[in-house]
Amino acid sequence: MADVVIVGGGIVGLSVAWSLARRGVGVTVLERSQVGDGASNASAGMLAPLAEANRPGPFLELGLASLRLYPSFIDSLRDATDMNAECATPGLLRVAVNQEESEEFCTPAWQKAVGLTVEYLTGDEVRRLEPALSPSIVAAALSPEEKQYDPRDLVRMLALACASRGVRIVECCQALGFETANGHVTGVRTATDIIPCGQLVIAGGAWADQMTRWLGATLPVYPVRGQILALRCLPSPVRHVVYAHAGYLVPRVDGEVLVGATAEHEAGYDTRPTAGGMAQLLNAAIGLVPALASAPFDRVWAGLRPGCRDSLPILGPLPGYDNVQLAAGHFRNGVLLAPITGEILADVLTGAAPHALLPAFAATRFAS
């Protein structure tokens, strides 16, 4: 019997597995498809807590804590696999096209108090840094410590690192239900077997609510379709990640420029890209960098992000069960929050002192 069974083999589930394996815990990961095939591989891989939080609070603190873990997180994966994940960009530019956006992105006093380097630029200054940017951009905030990794590299490294520490990863193995007794989950039902477990972690992304319903619980987690397209540009017209209200651009070393992303809350589990989504993304890309109008179209895809009613992740125990933990509702921040989620859940599962931020993300906040 595995000490811990994790249902979900995306970057969040694998990060929990890696943190546990490094502490000597036996882990089995069950993945319905192949590792990373859900929201993880569909992501652009941005580590941008200032852009995602927009204000101080527990979510910003969680994102900053995870960003600070990334150097040691990458080092640990590199040591275990002899692979590396490279930051392809020198930082992130949050750009504004009017005074209202400038006040939101480029002047908040709280940004200066979080410990990250932020440089505020006028429109002329940002175009000297990135000459291809549109003349409509009036200001920008440059954040060199906010990075971008290719999530496909991170997932591969995590899977190999976990395997090197004895984690059992079972792909194409969909959880179909749970065996329970007296508030305790004793096993995970699959099409061919019942896999016994001592502790269970539900890290099923957009399917997390379906899984907790098998236990008589309801989570406010639901799928949000995110469409992304890639243009082919060598050399890239931008070096930085460019983040705006209308969308973002992520240059990659292989010559792709990613354009993202839609946030479709009513699409359900439909992962088909749409004409409207593509039009929205292309308009955003050309609005930010007019030269992209002549860039060859490369590919398009969509993933299902695990949205949550209050836009915060859900971490820690599932009320009513003594051996079920949740790592759910990360929305579009699974890559950013993977290291801190792994550490927080590993602390809980090994009996270490709980992380100070854990209460802000507990499932009990939805009790009313």
pLDDT value, residue 142: 95
Domains for the chain: give ranges and CATH numbers.
2-83+151-220+310-366 (3.50.50.60), 92-144 (no CATH), 222-307 (3.30.9.10)
Single out the residue of 110, 114, 104 nearest to residue 140, CA to CA: 104
pLDDT value, residue 204: 96
d(CA 354, CA 368): 24
pLDDT value, residue 32: 95
Using the structure block, give the residue that is written with the tokens 């890290």: 203
d(CA 139, CA 321): 50
pTM: predicted TM-score of the whole model, two decimal places? 0.96
Q: With cut-offs at 50, 70 and 90, classify the pLDDT of residue 190.
A: very high
d(CA 126, CA 146): 17
Contact predicate 178/195, CB 8 Å: no
pLDDT value, residue 368: 58
Number of Cα atoms under 13 Å in the Cβ half of residue 119: 12
pLDDT at 305 over 70: yes
pLDDT at 1 over 60: no
Kindly report, residue by residue over 221-258, the tens digit of the pLDDT. Answer: 999 999 999 999 989 999 999 999 999 999 998 889 99
pLDDT value, residue 54: 79
pLDDT value, residue 307: 96
Amino acid 148 reads Q
